[in-house]
Structure 1
Amino acid sequence: MTNLHPVRVSERIPVAEDVVALELRHPDGRPLPAWSPGAHVDVLLSPGLTRQYSLCGDPRDRSVWRIAVRLQPGGRGGSQHVHDRLSASDVIEVSEPRNHFELLPAARYLFIAGGIGITPILPMLGAAREAGARWELHYAGRTAASMPFREQLLTDYGSRVTLYPEDERGRIDLDLLIGMNPPDTMIYCCGPSGMLEAVEACCAWWPGRRLHVERFTPVERDSAADDREFEVELARSGRTLRVPADRSILEAVEEAGVGVLSSCREGTCGTCETTVLEGRVDHRDSLLTADERAANDTIFLCVSRAADNRLVIDL
């Protein structure tokens, strides 16, 4: 299980319409674990209520972590809890940072963000500037008032940032924007699924490993996928479990009483990532790249399955 750290909510800051930023500090003032741009943490809001949020502060300042949460009426309850029940001075537990959206070295970056998708991008901008790279940000939202950190972005980065409030100037012309960039540009995009799908379509011809996206919702899976029963061996626990066709590995492990930290249960957050020791994985997550899948050394227990009859995992 991922190590957990107590943190105190030191400040709540409205940063857009229905978006609040939380400043999190260690209750004893100790430094928090290091992290890199693109990282996120699991936040244990209450028993049985864990949600993941991108770190959007300054990685150089280990005295504080910052996250931002948009209120989602009709959601699964996490954002409602943050907005209605989590107060300054409250102490909660937060996981070690994990990063499946790491900023890779490049001479030129194109950052594209939609709404709350600005959060993992925000610290990347500072890192790109420090590295001396050329970069630009194109940031879309429903309205200017709904776009978190828009004033901070314009103040800090000026003309490198272009805002697209949809009610004022429509949507980003992604074909034109991406087409204007040379093929050595590294593209990072985070936002709603429609934006990600459009960017991926525009980049179908883009050189491999140049497009990086982070998703808040899972990629649609093939409903005809083979959901056979298989066996999973828990190497550290010394137990072997049968995973029925209609159950996930995570569910089977939980029913056996083995503790695994989890959150989204749809292959988008990475909380239940576990090392694979033997066997081939049928990867069904929305996180791993093609190369990472081919390495066959990790699995997300909530959605992925065995490609054969047996897996051995490090639990």
Structure 2
Amino acid sequence: MRHADDPTDTRIRTHGRVATTLALLGDRQLGELLDAAGGSGPVAAGIGGRAGAVEVDGTRVFVKRVPLTDLELEPAHVRSTANLFELPGFYQYGIGSTGFGAWRELAAHTLTTHWVLDGAYEGFPLMHHWRVLPDTPPTGFMDEFGGVDGAVAHWDGHPAVRRRLEALAGASHSLVLFLEHLPHTLADWLHDHPDRTGAPQLWAAEELARGTRFMNERGFLHFDAHFRNVLTDGRLIAFADFGLALAERFDLTPAEHRFLADHRGYDRHYTAAHLLQHHLLDRYRGERERTDFLRAWLAGHRPATVPGPAATLLDRHAPTAMALDGFHRRLLGESKLTPYPRAELERAATDRRAVRP
């Protein structure tokens, strides 16, 4: 039972107020609210949609517009969590994927919001409301690959990826998600709290492990939990942006069920490795490449300048970071069909022999 002053209770009360206000707005009124907020511009635009913020009853609300393709809007497909474009399993990896569809993202937010409301786990932003609204087709969302052709080539020329991207380019509606606003990404928060001891990173690692364990136990995988998709207020760490989420409660093919089972620990390994590679090592590695520093650490070369909390994280996660880095390099440089090294990662997560003093 939560105490009366529990921060989650305050979040839930605010959610109830904001959700009611948004639900009572017609499509025209909601569109006017979004247009009025357009002066401040979207805070982000990328392959997963456009994002911004609005004020609702004095509460800041994060807004994400996820393109809805004509295929997803067909009557037989509305709210479907099936793999409508028949995309390959490797499209789940967060290396330039646009995701498997807006309805899966909505379903993921529905699941996570109810986990917060039910008191099961507090580490997700609440979804206050959602609506399908007319929109202009997205532009420039594949510019980092040089356009659709370049993006398809990046995904080994898979025809289903082309169908997905061309459908997105013609999308005339958006799924608009109204989400609880948290002030910082975890990436920014860690950058703004420099501490050479590694104490903030150790706190983050423990919270990330708790969150990924919760999701894992419920057959829910994020698949893109880099730290710009993880939010914080300095007390709470919340997993957000579910464009690549996969859940056993979705309408999955047998192949997708096998893929999910094989990747059950992916988020746990990914967040631990990402923390080391992008938010810890640069403080201690000097001129060495990250992988060179990790390799030396695993060989027993432990600089005295690395303080206790940081050393603890390196001891725990250096083997995992090396194993996952190798997989991602093969995935990007050799073939998208590179097998996921599940057994190697599980061994790395429990192997401490290489990092004993």
TM-score, normalisation: structure 2: 0.22
More helix by share: 2
Higher relative contact order (CA 8 A, sep 6+): 2
